[in-house]
A and B are shown apart, each in its own frame.
Chain A
Amino acid sequence: MSSTPPGAAAPAPPPSTVACTINGRPHTFPRGTLIVDAVRQVGHPIPYYCYHPKLAPVGACRVCMVQVEGPPVAARGPIVTTGCTTPVFEGLKIETMSEPAKLARRQVLQFLLINHPLDCPVCDKGGECDLQDFTLGYGPGVSEFAEPKVLRRKAADLGPFLVLDQERCIMCQRCVRYESEVLGEQNLVLKERGDRTVIDTGQGEPYAGYFSGNNTELCPVGALTSRTYRFKARPWDVRPVASVCQGCSLGCNVTAQTRAGRIVRLMLRDNPAVDGGWLCDRGRYGFGHSASPDRLTAPLVRRDGRLVPASWDEAMAAAAGGLRRAGGAAVLGGARLTDEEAVLLAELTRVALRTNDVDWRVGRQRFAAPEAVGARGAAIADLDGADLVVLADTCLVEEAPVLEIRLRRAASRRTAVLDVGPVRNFRIGRSTRVPCPPDGLAAALASLGPKVAAAARPVVIWNGRGSEDVAEAVRALGAPVLVPGEWSNARGAEKAGLVPDALPGYHALDDAAPVEAAWGASVPRHPGRDARAILEAAAAGSIGGLYLVGANPLRTFPDGGLAAAALDKVPFLVVQDLFMTEAAAAADVVLPATGPLEKAGHVTNLAGNRQTLAAVAAGPGGARSDGDIFHALAAACGVALTGRAPEVATEPVRRVLTPGGGPPAGPGGGALRLLLRTRLYAGGGTTAFDPNLAPLREDAVLRLHPRDAAAAGLEDGGAAYVKGGGSTLTAAVRVDPDVDAGHAELPAHGFGPTRLGAWVDVQPAPAEALPGRAAAIAAVSAR
């Protein structure tokens, strides 16, 4: 035993566990364990409504009554109290099923039901409702309440995703507390008082946040429900399948529920290391594209200038022939594949098409894994304990929304957030802005060196945009890095070698032996061209065929003029996608693929967590998985793919970030600097075609500072012409003080913004001028 040094007689710390009895049997729990958790752990659960493990206890519903006796209430004999606000104490005797406890719960349940409409037969919660279950288990069979019930709003419209039934609400306030404790947003609040209290939005406006759907899983009754699930299924009718959201590169874990082969809803599947048990609305509700009537259902081949349906054999023969004509083929895309499919595409490219001209980076992200540029990777959970987080021009709520919830929580405790860039990225919660122009990111990051060096556990979040100077600045900060991706599986694509300057497994081009061993075939050694060089070559007519795999450079490539010229000039274009995108409309062969909810495999998220994707739904009949298509295309080229993933290099090749091809430096003229930034509800992938997300689509939304708006005569909610680079775009106007003056922000994946050049002018437009999607497609497909 060690002796206590003189003068430092610290009091012995209280033991970290306490012993108590539950229904007569002794148990030990960590100090501070709430009775409601303790009794559940040992198999004597009690009902609870307001309590939720992810929210602070409030003791609002009173249904978790238990009988306790002993310290610190020994003098009072046995008393009945709420199990969700009382921790276990040493020597406490807890009885969950004593007569006083049962009576208290029965009375509370009866009380909770006095104004409840009892419309279970038409309630979406029926079958998984805590009010049904606990009333059956612990409540009275019959109510003594004979007065008329208070009537409230039923099926109230709370915006695109939520439906509220105020009569079913039991005022547990889980939703209200989630809104303020977890989100810091207060989109839902209590209104009125007493028996007239209701849940509502502030002034009756639609729910405005990005995380509304979590309320439907927190609500223990049928008060807050999902519009997309309304009257769709009963819980005993559905087949649950565990999978992973591919709405962004975070990869939140989900349970997809299908009925008769159709997805009826996605629910959270708590993974503390990734999602912390939350989903964003884009992920939760963005499954509508799977069963969309607009899906491509058969291969299309261009004949006499028109795309006409063809058999898979015809389409494969046409694609293989076209891609091997003089000038060679190049491949763009692949960051939405599974890891296995990405390896197949890498093998198809190297072995069958004999080229290193392949690049998943058809947008602005330059790399996916921090290790690829010599930085250290961070784990998602590192955010929880970080004392300093640097947001390098990265907006989590738009780029990896559920990660934002984690950062907000960290920032509400002890984490300082430095928000670097020309737009406020972190809008809710404490942060310090470090404004800089879009090309000043490297310098701004460098200026933070001392602060990061002084921090004990810093984390840098950088979405990988910009070039080597920014990478150098990030490396110099020396902190671990998280890289939210522009596409869901950018990291898997990079690791599979869908880049021109490295082979699969991060092998250097001259270290091809392990790759050739895996595939049993030789691979080309000369460096390939990156996306910009490929598009330039295509525009110059020096590439024979272009293969776009789930990629639409017309929307995503920063220099839209170059992308348009490339797709216009390339002699042969193959597009593999789920929908008739602008690029597909210009193709010679269109190959219909299955989507992320329709195929099995693995995906790698932004922090390198490898997760399992399941085929939840079948997808349209004529579509095939990307992997099947790669096999078939290779076969049409006379090559059998192995699909074997080469081992990862022990020393990953250090890649140098070439500039990603931002918009061409504007020929002056424009007064505002154009910012192309990722927006959650803008894009040409599944978002553009998802009926569930349609109400929130914002492909053409211009955000600018009030001063610039006033100078241009623009009003919030109005329409504007945005002009630059000889091109004009019509956009809806949002006046937003969080965009620094002198900038005009447009969604990076909208249709049109990338053609405008670096500097733009804005002026008022009539409301009727706002573009329709059909017009946009028509304009492009007329080639």
Chain B
Amino acid sequence: MTALPAEEARAIVARYPSPRSAILPLLWLGQRTAGHVTPEAVQDVAELLDLRVSEVESVLSFYTMFRRRPPARCRLEVCRSLACAMKGAEEIVEHVREATGVEPGGQSEDGQFSIAYVECVAACDHAPAYIFNERMGGPLTREAALALIRGEGVGRP
């Protein structure tokens, strides 16, 4: 095991009656450790839980909250489930795309920001809801979105 802090990882595994249940917490640990989930971390999780790498990859890819590459400084994730879509989430993301040229799911070349769609974040009452650097917020507007990715909203969700 090389990509996960061993002691912490084993403690997580010990929390569950069935080792398989530890997949998600271990992947979170991997993301906390390296900023994103590396292929090596996936292999470590598989080895630790005696699972196939393919099974861990399958779980990992299902959740949009896991990053597969080093994070941008400002990470804006916009919900597009039903309520947020109806409240204009896609128009906001489209606005950002036009203003910056960065596609949803993409990242600016200088690593300043990334923007992505996510599935329901359980904040429909704040639609269109978003997650900025792991903290939830909403309702999002075009102006707020641009401010966030410029870094003007860092630390102030």
Contacting chain A: which of B13-21, B47-55, B147-155? B47-55
Determine if A202 and B62 form an interchain contact, defined as CB atoms under 8 angstroms apart.
Answer: no
Determine if A203 and B42 form an interchain contact, defined as CB atoms under 8 angstroms apart.
Answer: yes
Contacts A203-B39, A203-B42: A190 and B53 contacting too (C-beta < 8 A)?
no
Determine if B58 and A190 form an interchain contact, defined as CB atoms under 8 angstroms apart.
Answer: yes
Whether, in the assembled complex, B61 has its beta carbon less than 8 Å from a beta carbon of chain A, the answer is yes
From B39, B42, B56, B58, residue with most partner A Cβ within 10 Å: B58
Query: A167-206 vs B: 1/0 string, CB under 8 Å?
Result: 0000000000000000001111111111000001111000
Determine if A201 and B61 form an interchain contact, defined as CB atoms under 8 angstroms apart.
Answer: no
Nearest CB of B to A236, in Å: 37
Within the complex, which residue of A192, A193, A194, A202 is in contact with B53, where a contact is CB–CB below 8 Å? A202
| B51 (CB) vs chain A CBs: closest residue | A186
| A176 (CB) vs chain B CBs: closest residue | B58
Determine if A189 and B62 form an interchain contact, defined as CB atoms under 8 angstroms apart.
Answer: no
Contacts A192-B61, A192-B62, A193-B62: A186 and B55 contacting too (C-beta < 8 A)?
yes
Query: B53-77 vs A: 1/0 string, CB under 8 Å?
Result: 1111110011000000000000000
Contacts of A189 in B (CB 8 A): 54-55, 57-58
- In angstroms, Cα B58 to Cα A624, docked, is 52
- In angstroms, Cα B42 to Cα A203, docked, is 9
- Chain B interface residue bracket vs A: 10 to 19
Determine if A203 and B61 form an interchain contact, defined as CB atoms under 8 angstroms apart.
Answer: no
Determine if B61 and A187 form an interchain contact, defined as CB atoms under 8 angstroms apart.
Answer: no
Contacts of B61 in A (CB 8 A): 191-193
Contacts A203-B39, A203-B42: A191 and B52 contacting too (C-beta < 8 A)?
no
Within the complex, which residue of A185, A191, A194 is in contact with B58, where a contact is CB–CB below 8 Å? A191
From A185, A186, A202, residue with most partner B Cβ within 10 Å: A202
Determine if B57 and A203 form an interchain contact, defined as CB atoms under 8 angstroms apart.
Answer: yes
Determine if B62 and A186 form an interchain contact, defined as CB atoms under 8 angstroms apart.
Answer: no
Nearest CB of A to B76, in Å: 20
| A191 (CB) vs chain B CBs: closest residue | B61
Determine if A187 and B62 form an interchain contact, defined as CB atoms under 8 angstroms apart.
Answer: no
Within the complex, which residue of A192, A193, A194, A202 is in contact with B54, where a contact is CB–CB below 8 Å? A202
Task: Enumerate A134-187 residues with CB–CB distance to B below 8 Å.
Answer: 185-187
Task: Enumerate B107-156 residues with CB–CB distance to A below 8 Å.
Answer: 119
Contacts of B54 in A (CB 8 A): 186-189, 201-203
Contacts of A200 in B (CB 8 A): 57
- Chain A interface residue bracket vs B: 10 to 19
Contacts of A193 in B (CB 8 A): 61-62, 119
| A198 (CB) vs chain B CBs: closest residue | B61
Nearest CB of A to B45, in Å: 12
- In angstroms, Cα B61 to Cα A194, docked, is 11
| B43 (CB) vs chain A CBs: closest residue | A203
- In angstroms, Cα B53 to Cα A638, docked, is 66
Nearest CB of A to B68, in Å: 11
Contacts of A191 in B (CB 8 A): 57-58, 61-62
- In angstroms, Cα B52 to Cα A201, docked, is 11
Nearest CB of B to A653, in Å: 50
Task: Enumerate A466-499 residues with CB–CB distance to B below 8 Å.
Answer: none
From A185, A188, A192, residue with most partner B Cβ within 10 Å: A192
Contacts A191-B61, A192-B61, A193-B62: A186 and B42 contacting too (C-beta < 8 A)?
no
- In angstroms, Cα B62 to Cα A191, docked, is 6
Contacts of B52 in A (CB 8 A): 185-186, 202
From B52, B53, B54, B119, residue with most partner A Cβ within 10 Å: B54
- In angstroms, Cα B57 to Cα A185, docked, is 14
Contacts of B53 in A (CB 8 A): 202-203
Nearest CB of A to B46, in Å: 8
Nearest CB of A to B153, in Å: 28
Nearest CB of B to A169, in Å: 15
| A185 (CB) vs chain B CBs: closest residue | B52
Nearest CB of A to B84, in Å: 15
- In angstroms, Cα B58 to Cα A618, docked, is 46
| A208 (CB) vs chain B CBs: closest residue | B54
- In angstroms, Cα B42 to Cα A188, docked, is 16
- In angstroms, Cα B61 to Cα A193, docked, is 8
Nearest CB of B to A601, in Å: 43
Contacts of A188 in B (CB 8 A): 54
Nearest CB of A to B98, in Å: 19
Nearest CB of B to A301, in Å: 55
- In angstroms, Cα B56 to Cα A191, docked, is 10
| A179 (CB) vs chain B CBs: closest residue | B54
Nearest CB of B to A439, in Å: 33
Contacts of A202 in B (CB 8 A): 52-58
- In angstroms, Cα B62 to Cα A187, docked, is 17
- In angstroms, Cα B55 to Cα A267, docked, is 29
Nearest CB of B to A519, in Å: 58
Contacts of A186 in B (CB 8 A): 52, 54-55
- In angstroms, Cα B56 to Cα A189, docked, is 10
Contacts of B55 in A (CB 8 A): 186, 189, 202
| B58 (CB) vs chain A CBs: closest residue | A189
- In angstroms, Cα B55 to Cα A200, docked, is 11
Task: Enumerate B7-29 residues with CB–CB distance to A below 8 Å.
Answer: none
* B→A interface (CB under 8 Å): 39, 42, 52-58, 61-62, 119
Question: What are 8 contact pairs spanning A and B, CB under 8 A?
Answer: A187-B54, A189-B54, A191-B58, A193-B119, A202-B53, A202-B54, A202-B57, A203-B42
Starting from the known contacts A190-B58, A192-B61, 18 additional A-B residue pairs (CB-CB under 8 Å) come to: A185-B52, A186-B54, A186-B55, A187-B54, A188-B54, A189-B54, A189-B57, A189-B58, A191-B58, A193-B61, A193-B62, A194-B119, A200-B57, A202-B52, A202-B54, A202-B57, A203-B42, A203-B53
Q: Which 3 A-B pairs have the closest CB atoms?
A: A202-B54, A189-B58, A191-B61
